[in-house]
Amino acid sequence: MVEIRIPKIAVILCGCGSMDGSEIHEATFTLLSIDELGAEYKCFALDKPQGRVMDFVTGTEEPTEKRNQLKESARISRGKIQNIVDLKVNDFDALILPGGYGAAFNLCDFAKLGENASVDPEIKRVLTQFHEAQKPIGAICISPAIVALVLGKSAKPSITIGEVNDPVAEKLRKLDCEVIASQTNDCVIDIKNKIVTTPAYMNAKRISEVRQGIAKLTAAVLELVT
């Protein structure tokens, strides 16, 4: 009997909530899509403080409050999560990064410095290793900015954040990325670099569109697994 190998996907989270961590809908849809397609996932996060903490009722920052990315991300993963230092590329077939402002505040400082931003060393390590191993990378919402910061100059990937004429797109072009327009319910596939991106809440009008785009991204990522 031929043994069927189940693909394993690493998912990087960065907190719990769209304004200061992982966008909960995007993260949940990612995990759901992986499961629906018959693959397995494991969640990882940095064991570090968030770049900011927000009051989701008022939409204002709470400068005196501190939250840990790993502990907050465990809320989404129902406690099944590991420190990203334990993420070994050889254990997985692909990588997916949901969005949320935490991706731009916690995993890097793109929200503050744009194209001049730096990426957390562990996040940079993981992205670089997956790319060098020619394993697919999926990036959702603002997470393509992290891909651009790490791989833009070397790989010159084709990515999307939805629109092509806004300030964020211009910053990504400065990182030698080709920025392609995409609807929320679709994704952009860079076959050469095995990078798949979708806009999600960068330009979403309906939650169903976000779900559709992430489902397409996940399917495309799995199709690129060799």
Strands (E), 93-136: 94-97
Distances (CA, A) of 211 to 38, 149, 168, 216: 17, 26, 23, 9
Buried-state track 69-97, b at ≥16 Cβ within 10 A, e below 16: bbebbbbbbeeebbebeebebeebbbbbb
The angle that helices 69-76 and 24-36 make with each other, rounded to 10 degrees, is: 50
Residues 15 and 21 sit within 8 Å (Cβ to Cβ): yes
Tell me the C-alpha distance between 37 and 42, whole Å.
Answer: 15
What is the SS3 assignment for 206?
A: coil
Count CB neighbours of 63 within 10 A. 8
- DSSP H or E run through 194: none
Active site residues: 141
